Amino acid sequence: MLRPAHLDLSLIGQPLPWDLFTESGVLVAGQGLVIADENHFLRLAGRALFVKSEPGPNLGGLPERLTELVAQADALLSAPPEALDVVALDHTARDLSALWQVDADACLGFTRRAGRVRPAVTHSVQVLFVSLLLADQLEIGAAERDSLAGAALSMNLGDLELHDRLAEPHPSLTAEDRRRLREPPRRAAELLAAAGLADPVWLACVLQHHESMDGSGYPAGLAGPDLGLGARILRVADIYCGKTGAREYHPTHSTRLAVQEIFGRERTGLDSQLAILLLRRLGVYPPGTLVRLASREIACITRRGRGGLVRFAVSFLDARGRPLDPPRERDLDTRQYQLRGVVDTEPHWPAIDWKCLWGY
């Protein structure tokens, strides 16, 4: 399996400790190659390169740290309003952003498959990572990027219990529940400000993340020109994660259907340029998507492909539902391993060590 390689300037003049590959598995530089000078280093560091790793022992601790931070976010967001610690919340958001820089695909995919806490918090963490993907593509500055991460993590602070219930397969919503759905943005912004948060970008993102480009959103009915970029990013990420996760009145379904809805009934309310950019970067099968192959194996998409096109998946259950140890990387371009459809976890499956699928 392949996982991202991270080159450090200290490697200049030293032999490479591992082979370097492209995302499709083509060898670029062999183990032992000496990086001659800074120009040689920059030529390598300027590419998306990967190293091969064997699943098994912890190879860096990213999944464990990610699980720890999600649990930390859960504890902070679930605290009583009078105990809300915005400094700790900011630090947690920044720490999650730092993990994103190390291995974005594992952050995107692993949170969909493991380390789940209350659904509203898991959803917010997923929105944080998708928002960072858009922020990176738009080359947003570090300060605004940090504000966006904090806003994504805290956007549903106003009513976590109601957002938890939206994750149920068939939530029963009363008229009062539907009225409450329009209150969380303002309530969350008020709670954050009362706890001492003075970041205007963070607060504006939270307050505006349910506003729509066509003016049909809430709480203020703002339209496109009046919406900040961060709020528009957050809205697209929130809708995307909601429609590809088990929430918002429906079970998990394929990203293809989510794409149809985003460019269908949701189209006028979203920033279409951001929606197009997101779908180009994540494609129809983002990391964490489970698929059935022509071999009848169950596999997981673990890495984004170029232009959103996915070529590889990691099989973890064989055709008879038995664990593959270790998991096997499959080339989806081959007839035997062509993708046949999207699946989701089943109660009868054996326990899956999800971190192994990302090479940890």
How high is the mean pLDDT of the chain? 87
Tell me what pLDDT residue 247 has.
43
In sequence order, what E strands does the chain have?
Answer: 2-4, 20-21, 27-29, 50-52, 290-293, 298-300, 312-317, 323-331, 339-343
pLDDT tens, position by position, 58-76:
445 899 999 999 999 999 9
Quote helix, strand, coil % in the chain, to nearest 5.
50, 10, 40
Tell me what pLDDT residue 251 has.
43
Reported confidence tier of residue 9, pLDDT bands at 50, 70, 90: confident
Cβ atoms of 12 and 38 closer than 8 Å: yes
- pLDDT for 348 beyond 80: yes
Tell me what pLDDT residue 6 has.
75
Neighbours of 130 (CB within 10 A): 25
- pLDDT for 202 beyond 70: yes
Tell me what pLDDT residue 252 has.
47
- pLDDT for 111 beyond 60: yes
Rounded to an integer, the average pLDDT of 105-132 is 90
Tell me what pLDDT residue 250 has.
43
Phi, psi at residue 108, to the nearest 5°?
-65, -45
Tell me what pLDDT residue 256 has.
66
Tell me what pLDDT residue 248 has.
39
Rounded to an integer, the average pLDDT of 4-25 is 82
pLDDT tens, position by position, 219-236:
999 998 899 999 999 999
Domain residue ranges of the chain, discontinuous segments joined by +: 2-52, 62-282, 290-357
Place of tokens 């030293």: 14
Q: How far apart, in whole angstroms, are the C-alpha atoms of residue 199 and residue 127? A: 19
Reported confidence tier of residue 171, pLDDT bands at 50, 70, 90: low
Tell me what pLDDT residue 57 has.
41
- pLDDT for 50 beyond 60: yes
CA atoms 193, 195, 196, 197: torsion sign = negative
Higher pLDDT, 253 or 255: 255
- pLDDT for 211 beyond 50: yes
What's the pTM value of the predicted model, to 2 decimals?
0.84
pLDDT tens, position by position, 277-295:
998 888 888 899 999 999 9
- pLDDT for 119 beyond 60: yes
- pLDDT for 324 beyond 50: yes
Rounded to an integer, the average pLDDT of 189-198 is 97
Tell me what pLDDT residue 242 has.
83
Tell me what pLDDT residue 117 has.
81
For the segment(s) 62-282, the CATH number from 1.10.260.40, 1.20.120.330, 1.10.3210.10, 1.10.520.20 is 1.10.3210.10
The fraction of the chain above a pLDDT of 70, given in percent, is 89
- Tokens found for residue 251: 């079970």
Range in 70-74, 111-115, 263-267 the model is least confident about = 263-267
